[in-house]
Amino acid sequence: MNIIKVKDYEALSEVAANIIIEAVKSKPEISLGLATGGSPVQLYANLVKDHKENKTSYAGVSTYNLDEYIGLDPSHEQSYNTFMKNNLFNHVDINLANVHLPNGNTSDHEAEAKRFEELVANTTIDLQLLGIGTNGHIGFNEPGSSFDGKTAVVDLVQETIESNARYFEGNEDLVPTQAISMGVGTIMRAKAILLIASGKNKAEAIKWLVEGEVSEDLPASALRNHPNVTIVLDEDAASLLQ
């Protein structure tokens, strides 16, 4: 694992955005795996800024998002579909026909998970962006998830619901309790992985990921078995590392 430590969230967002920008420039038809949440917000803003200033083009890029809440229509303001449009897709020249997210509002969630897994299986994700949960989840693969897991309907644990309530008026009752998420096995098929983590609340999970036991109790530790992982950390997220 290649570990890059920087000062703060701003520096992290710049370094990680540059990795993606360089990847897009070197392969204009790149297939990107994308994440939502607080961690990549500034990174996406940097991609948008670079697109406007330097004309890096996303016209040939395809994207596959990690996950989507079940029960929210794609047009819901807190859906990950809306997040991606607001933070990235609406501001660059990407062809919306080439952006792919699970749909959390179909009549058959299992079938939708299967459809998405097949879609991802039929491509090679060149670069997968990941955040990490305070409990070490990647995507919505909570502790105990199989390292071989495929895209599936998953239950969010209480810690994740509490953490994500900040996007739902601080009200845990409004946070969906399930999601469709790429599995750890799905994520591990990406050619390269870029994980970003910022803040003291991520320090325990990062310590385990980098120095602890590889175990399904910390889903992100699967990445230790992946040949091409870059982790960008700010000082707070790296603060417990030896």
Tell me which residues touch ligand F6R (CB under 6 A): 35-39, 66-67, 131-133, 137-140
Nearer to ligand F6R, 57 or 204 (CB): 204
Q: Any catalytic annotation for residue 67?
A: yes
Q: Could you tell me the two tokens for 161?
A: 């619901």
Question: Catalytic: which of 46, 50, 65, 67?
Answer: 67
CA distance linking residue 87 with residue 89, whole number of Å: 7
Matching residue, tokens 């071989």? 148
Question: Catalytic: which of 135, 141, 234, 236?
Answer: 135
Q: Which amino acid is at 5?
A: K
Instruction: Name the minimum Å distance from CB 237 to ligand F6R.
Output: 10
Element (H, E) at 152: strand 152-155
Compute CA distances 124 → 21, 61, 100, 190, whole Å.
18, 12, 14, 6
CA distance linking residue 77 with residue 96, whole number of Å: 18
Instruction: Name the minimum Å distance from CB 135 to ligand F6R.
Output: 9
Instruction: Name the minimum Å distance from CB 142 to ligand F6R.
Output: 10
Nearer to ligand F6R, 13 or 62 (CB): 13
Question: Catalytic: which of 112, 117, 142, 234?
Answer: 142
Residue numbers annotated as active site: 67, 135, 137, 142
